[in-house]
Structure 1
Amino acid sequence: MQRLHPMLAAAGLLGFLLGGSAMAQSSSSAQSSASSVNGSSYSGQITGNGIAQYGLDTRPHRQLTVRLDTDNPNTRMKITQDGAADPPCQGTATPNVCSFRTEPGASYRVQVYLTRDAAQRGESTRFSLAVEQGS
């Protein structure tokens, strides 16, 4: 009988514990660049049903603006607030820019994904996000 490598076993266990989100992340690649006081940037690539997700480091009562640049017009972003029923921004109306005022103690996430039809066709997209915080 072969023995599993500890890292592979740990990765398999982590994938099992995370459920479907681990599968969604498997077809995406993403990276973040250095953050500055007022902004940061992220870039990556997703294919099909892949989702790239980033936690945003925010300060309360600031104007937060997230800009999406992409090579595929079927790419969307959604920004969610942990614990809130409605997202501050959902990219269907204006898919390339989202701007809102942050709340105290709130945590925000941005998700980048392809529309359902594009995902079913197996399309892919390269993207970059620019995140800025104003006063």
Structure 2
Amino acid sequence: MKRLTPLLAAAGLFGTLSGGCAMAQTSSSQSFASSTTNTYSGQITGNGVAQYGLDTHALQQLTVTLHTNNPNSHMSVIKGDSTDALCLNQASPHSCTFRVESDTAYRVRVFLTREAVQRGESARFTISLEPGN
């Protein structure tokens, strides 16, 4: 895996359309070395969704972990254009391990539970990406 690419335009648009806002770190993309753990941090508020694209290598195993200050935060890892999550976890830390397939895009979404949104909660988070064998 080389990069975690923020898809902030889509996340911001989703938040705007659903009546909330999304806040996340606004740097472009970060490069990731294939032998180290790397992180990306941000914050979500209300209906906001932070979404990041993963630049991956075929047949690589990845572990994505979400560390958050709000136990009502969720992380999902989505493969390609699917609407089904490979991993959908709750509580801190969230973790998802999967093997990357050839020519397939992956993305990570961070969001709050419906109840947390109704209470007006927010969450700070850090996504850690660790390549495996």
State the TM-score, normalizing by the size of structure 1.
Answer: 0.75
Q: How many correspondences in the alignment? A: 120
CA contact (8 A) 1:77 1:95 kept: no
Contact 2:12 2:48 in 1 (8 A): no
1:28 aligns with 2:26: no
Question: By how many angstroms is 1:94 displaced?
Answer: 8.3
In structure 2, relative to structure 1, the CA distance for the partners of 1:85 and 1:71 (3 Å cut) is: closer
Query: Which range is displaced more, 26-35 or 42-51?
Result: 26-35
Greater strand fraction, Structure 1 or Structure 2: 2
CA RMSD of aligned residues (A): 2.8
**Percent of aligned pairs with the same residue?**
45
- Which structure: larger Rg? 1
Contact map agreement 1:80 1:87 (CA 8 A) in 2: yes
- Give 1:34 deviation, angstroms: 4.4
Find 2:94's aligned residue among 93, 96, 101.
Answer: 96
Aligned partner letter, 1:27: A
Find the partner of 2:48 among 47, 50, 55.
50
Letter in 2 for 1:112: V
Q: 1:94 to 1:86 in 2, by over 3 A?
A: farther
Question: Which consecutive segments of 4 or more residues in structure 1 shift more than 6 A?
Answer: none
